[in-house]
């Protein structure tokens, strides 16, 4: 099983600021990496797939980068609706998720 590790566990950011979230895989997953956002009581929503491709309807302030074992999700200017938990997920083999990064208001 490929283990996905996200950091930090919690990120405190002011609205309008930039947020950078990290995800590391225990072995190479090539570019088979997706990012999701989840708000309390809601289902996850796909943000990024293929490590860097934005899903349909996702604003340009969300960007993904990386390949192999190191990945980054950047939110260029945090909006109020972006405060949530973010998960990375690899699909190079049977899917596994990171433990999540909570982005909270500073």
Partner 1 sequence: QVQLVESGGGVVQPGRSLRLSCAASGFTFTSYGMHWVRQAPGKGLEWVAVIWHDGSNKHYADSVKGRFTISRDNSKNTLYLQMNSLRAEDTAVYYCAREGGAVADYYFDYWGQGTPLTVSS
Whether omega before 49 lies within 30 degrees of 0, making that bond cis, reads no
In the bound state with partner 1, the residue whose beta carbon lies nearer, of 30 and 72, is 30
DSSP state of 76: S
* CA trace torsion 24, 40, 45, 102 (10° rounding): -20
Q: How far is Cα 5 from Cα 58, in angstroms, rounded to an integer?
A: 24
In angstroms, the first-to-last Cα distance of the chain is 35
Which position among 24, 28, 68, 91 is part of the footprint of partner 1 (CB under 8 A)?
Answer: 91
The reply on whether position 96 binds partner 1 by CB under 8 A is: yes
The reply on whether position 32 binds partner 1 by CB under 8 A is: yes
Select from 14-22, 36-44, 63-71, 76-84 the region that touches partner 1 (CB under 8 A). Answer: 36-44
Q: How far is Cα 19 from Cα 7, in angstroms, rounded to an integer?
A: 12
The reply on whether position 43 binds partner 1 by CB under 8 A is: yes
Which position among 2, 13, 72, 97 is part of the footprint of partner 1 (CB under 8 A)?
Answer: 97
Select from 12-20, 45-53, 59-67, 70-78 the region that touches partner 1 (CB under 8 A). Answer: 45-53
Give the residues across from 88 on adjacent strands: 35
Binding site for partner 1 (CB under 8 A): 32, 34, 36, 42-46, 49-50, 55-56, 87, 89, 91, 94-100
């Amino acid at each position: 099983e490929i283990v996905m590790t996200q950091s930090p566990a919690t990120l405190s950011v002011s609205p309008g600021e930039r947020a950078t979230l990290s995800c590391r895989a225990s072995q190479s997953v090539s570019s088979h990496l997706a990012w999701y956002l989840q708000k309390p009581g809601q289902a996850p929503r796909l943000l990024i797939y293929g490590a860097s491709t934005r899903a349909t309807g996702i604003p340009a302030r969300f960007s993904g980068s990386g390949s192999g074992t190191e990945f980054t999700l950047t939110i260029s200017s945090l909006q109020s609706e972006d405060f949530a938990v973010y998960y990375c997920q690899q699909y190079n083999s049977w899917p596994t998720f990171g433990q999540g990064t909570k982005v909270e208001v500073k």
